């Protein structure tokens, strides 16, 4: 008979089957993995768990204590408040949603630019201005599986061609499908730029914006609706061209230079067509990161410059063309005035050329804001060039020009007068010229040239600035618009013909600027 004591000891030493756990894992990855980044998971009751990614962006955590639906977010560097603020976005943040999980099993939930856009669309449907507002303030009881149907379909339709080329199912779920290094989803993400926009009224980070490797918009015009069809092969070619170019030209600017969605044709910024000014074998590649609504200050603070600057190399050029939105300094402006001053506003120099800014806030000087880009370019042995902003088609009274005939001419409007709501007044164009002189930077006076161009086209200026026939079947976007149409023309932005004309003016001015002779030699005759 066996010794009962020995038998008891033997039984205690035998392996015991581990109790099954409900596990959540996935990858936090954009154009590259979010390594050593904090992942936060919030369940339907508000309970929160945190974990960290490894060097490949992978995370894994037991979630037995959580009740779905789950909101996930990842933060790469910075503090949690940086995900919401537009003042200075030190952190890179993305979100994801998982409505249900399988108990006692391993569940996948990736956090990527695609999942962040899906959260943005769900958040928009529920009345939040962006994905981070949902992460910070959302009511989990509002979530249901049906809310994900349209955002997921938008992703699948926009990426259908690319998914097919990568031999991926066209109904793939970017959240639930495991991601492995070098697989189709990783290849797709490698040519996607991700950022979050700006909410005008609150000044907080807004909805998710995605562009391709050449900064063409994919989605972000609104926080809902279809995506622009994504051309994978073009994006791959563009990324290769950017990295292998002899010379890159970075365009740091606003809506007047920006690249627009195909759905908004014929609207175009001059940067969208600037590449056409160069010889085919010039070795020059344009990185047009210009972004609508941005000033010189928040173009940097929100990370738009950094997306382009990762490619900056010695001998490249940085064209700095701001001034339109830096004028948003009216603190008395209804709804958005305080946010404008907090995030967009920079103040022009005074009449003697001295920078103006509130005490302790030198970054709110327009000159100092421009000089940041000059310093960043020169730190990389690149060549900064300052441009004055394109003109608005405004007369001396600040009204639309030419209404009373060709003598009702266009004049400069890039200045602020001493009046209520404005802390400082001055001339933004004069400040740009002063900054160029102080820093010995080449200057292109684009405002002066476009004023002359507008006044030479008093009879047909609406063929250049955005004034679309609202009934034109080619441009269905404008069938429902109240501005940018012939009966209410946009006096700031361009349609295709105007964008091409301004791009040509910029090229002509480069040819006439001795300090830019090396670049001028690469332009078309």
- Compute the average pLDDT of residues 240-266: 97
457 pLDDT more than 80 = yes
The tokens for 24 are 């959540």
Q: How far is 441 from 48, CA to CA, in rounded Å?
A: 52
Per-residue pLDDT tens for 198-226?
Answer: 999 999 999 999 999 999 999 988 888 89
Helix/strand/coil for 435: helix
**CATH fit for domain 245-520, picks 3.40.640.10, 3.90.550.10, 3.30.465.10, 3.40.50.1110:** 3.40.50.1110
The string of pLDDT tens digits covering residues 304-355 is 999 999 999 999 999 999 999 999 999 999 999 999 999 999 999 999 999 9
Task: Give 3's pLDDT tier (boundaries 50, 70, 90).
Answer: low
Residue 89 confidence (pLDDT) above 90: no
Biggest CA pair distance of the chain? 118
Residue 372 pLDDT grade (very low, low, confident, very high; cuts 50, 70, 90): very high
**Cβ neighbours of residue 395 under 8 Å, at least 6 residues apart?**
401, 402, 403, 408, 409, 410, 411
Sequence-distant (≥ 6) Cβ neighbours of residue 190 within 8 angstroms:
31, 32, 239
The answer to whether the Cα torsion of 73, 74, 79, 83 is positive or negative is negative
Beta 58-62 vs 383-387: how paired, if at all? unpaired
Band of residue 1 on the pLDDT scale cut at 50, 70, 90: very low
Q: What's the pLDDT at 20? A: 77
pLDDT on residue 9: 46
CA-CA-CA-CA torsion sign (397, 400, 401, 402): negative
Mind giving me the DSSP string for 168-187? Answer: --TT--TTTS---TTSHHHH
At CA 409, angle to CA 406 and CA 410, rounded to 5? 135
Instruction: List strands edge to edge, sheet with 217-219.
Output: 192-198, 205-212, 217-219
The CA distance from 346 to 325, in Å, is 9
**pLDDT grade, residue 8 (50/70/90)?**
very low
pLDDT > 90? residue 442: yes
Instruction: Please give the pLDDT value at position 28.
Output: 98
Kindly list the distances between the CA atom of residue 476 and the CA atoms of 53, 90, 427, in Å, as whole numbers in the listed order: 45, 39, 39
**Average pLDDT for residues 475-502, to the nearest whole number?**
97
pLDDT of 7 reads 45
Contacts 24+ apart (CB under 8 A), 145-154: 145/99, 145/100, 147/122, 148/97, 148/99, 148/118, 148/122, 150/121, 150/224, 151/117, 151/118, 151/121, 151/122, 152/118, 154/121, 154/219, 154/225, 154/226, 154/227
DSSP tag of 242: H
Helix (H, G, I), strand (E, B) or coil at 299: helix
The overall pTM is greater than 0.85: yes
Average pLDDT, the chain: 94
Cα gap 462→454, rounded to integer Å: 10
- Show Cβ contacts of residue 483 under 8 Å, excluding neighbours closer than 6 positions: 490
Residues 66/41, Cβ–Cβ less than 8 Å: yes
Ranges 89-98, 297-306, 327-336, 441-450: which has the least confidence: 89-98
Residue 237 has pLDDT above 70, yes or no: yes
Range name among 73-82, 99-108, 185-194, 280-289 with the lowest pLDDT average: 73-82
CATH fold of 23-192, please?
Immunoglobulin-like (2.60.40)
Listing DSSP states for 448-494 in one string gives HHHHHHHHHTTTTGGGTBS-B-TT-TT-GGGGS-SSSBTTB--SS-E
For the residues 16-35, what does the mean pLDDT come to? 87
Q: What is the pLDDT of residues 398-423, one digit of tens each?
A: 999 999 998 999 999 999 999 999 99
The per-residue pLDDT for 18 is 54
pLDDT of 347: 98
pLDDT at res. 78: 67
Q: What is the mean pLDDT of residues 19-41?
A: 94
Tell me the C-alpha distance between 301 and 296, whole Å. 9
Question: What pLDDT was estimated at residue 2?
Answer: 46
Instruction: Give ranges for CATH 2.60.40.10 in the chain.
Output: 23-192
Q: Which residue has the tokens 């007369």?
A: 395
pLDDT on residue 221 = 82
Tell me what percent of the residues of the chain surpass a pLDDT of 90: 90
CA atoms within 13 A on the CB side of 98: 27
- Locate the DSSP E strands across 314-367: 317-321
Contact 412, 418 (CB under 8 A): no
How large is the C-alpha radius of gyration of the chain? 26
What is the C-alpha to C-alpha distance for residues 378 and 485, in angstroms, rounded to an integer? 42
Q: What does the pLDDT read at residue 223?
A: 82
314, 231, 211: which is closest to 271 by C-alpha?
Answer: 211
**Residue 468 CA to chain centroid, in angstroms?**
26
């Amino acid at each position: 008979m066996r010794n009962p004591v020995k038998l008891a000891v033997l039984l205690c030493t035998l392996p015991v089957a581990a109790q099954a756990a409900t596990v959540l894992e996935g990858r936090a990855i954009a154009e590259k993995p979010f390594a050593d980044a904090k992942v936060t998971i919030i369940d339907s009751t508000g309970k929160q768990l945190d974990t960290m990614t490894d060097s490949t962006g992978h995370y894994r955590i037991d979630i037995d204590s959580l009740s779905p639906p789950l909101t996930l977010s990842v933060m790469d560097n910075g503090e949690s408040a940086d995900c919401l603020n537009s003042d200075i976005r030190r952190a890179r943040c993305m979100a994801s949603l998982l409505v249900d999980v399988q108990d006692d099993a391993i569940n996948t939930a990736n956090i990527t630019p695609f999942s962040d856009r899906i959260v943005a669309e769900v958040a928009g449907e529920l009345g939040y201005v962006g994905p981070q507002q949902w992460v910070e303030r959302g009511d989990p009881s509002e979530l249901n599986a049906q809310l994900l149907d349209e955002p997921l379909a938008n992703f699948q339709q926009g990426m259908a061609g690319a998914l097919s080329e990568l031999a991926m199912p066209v109904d793939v779920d970017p959240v639930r499908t495991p991601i492995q290094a070098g697989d189709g989803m990783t290849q797709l993400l490698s040519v996607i730029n991700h950022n979050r926009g700006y909410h005008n009224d609150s000044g907080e980070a807004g909805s998710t914006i995605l562009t391709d490797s050449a900064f063409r918009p994919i989605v972000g015009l609104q926080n809902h609706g279809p995506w622009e069809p994504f051309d994978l092969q073009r994006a791959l070619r563009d990324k290769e061209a950017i990295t292998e170019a002899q010379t890159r030209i970075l365009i740091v600017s606003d809506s007047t230079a920006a690249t627009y969605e195909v759905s908004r044709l014929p609207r175009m910024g001059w940067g969208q067509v600037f590449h056409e000014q160069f010889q085919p074998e010039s070795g020059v590649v344009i990185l047009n990161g210009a972004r609508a609504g941005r000033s010189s200050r928040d173009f940097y603070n929100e990370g738009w410059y950094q997306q382009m600057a990762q490619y900056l190399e010695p001998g490249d050029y940085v064209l700095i063309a701001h001034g339109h939105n830096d004028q948003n300094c009216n603190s008395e402006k209804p709804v958005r005035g305080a946010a404008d001053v907090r995030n967009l506003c920079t103040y022009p120099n005074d009449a003697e050329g001295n920078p103006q800014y509130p005490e302790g806030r030198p970054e709110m000087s327009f000159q100092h804001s421009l000089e940041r880009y000059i310093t960043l370019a020169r730190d990389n042995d690149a060549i900064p060039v300052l441009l004055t902003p394109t003109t608005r088609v405004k007369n001396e009274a600040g009204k639309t020009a030419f209404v009373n005939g060709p003598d009702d001419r266009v004049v400069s409007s890039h200045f602020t007068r001493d009046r209520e709501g404005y802390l400082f007044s001055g001339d933004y164009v004069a400040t740009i010229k002063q900054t160029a002189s102080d820093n010995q930077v080449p200057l292109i006076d684009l405002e002066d040239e476009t004023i002359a161009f507008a006044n030479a086209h008093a009879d047909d200026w609406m063929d250049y600035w955005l004034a679309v026939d609202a009934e034109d079947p080619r441009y269905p976007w404008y069938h429902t618009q109240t501005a940018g149409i012939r009966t209410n023309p946009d006096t700031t932005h361009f349609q295709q013909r105007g964008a091409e004309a301004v791009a040509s003016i910029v090229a002509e001015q480069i040819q006439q600027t001795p300090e830019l002779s090396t670049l001028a030699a690469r332009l078309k005759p």
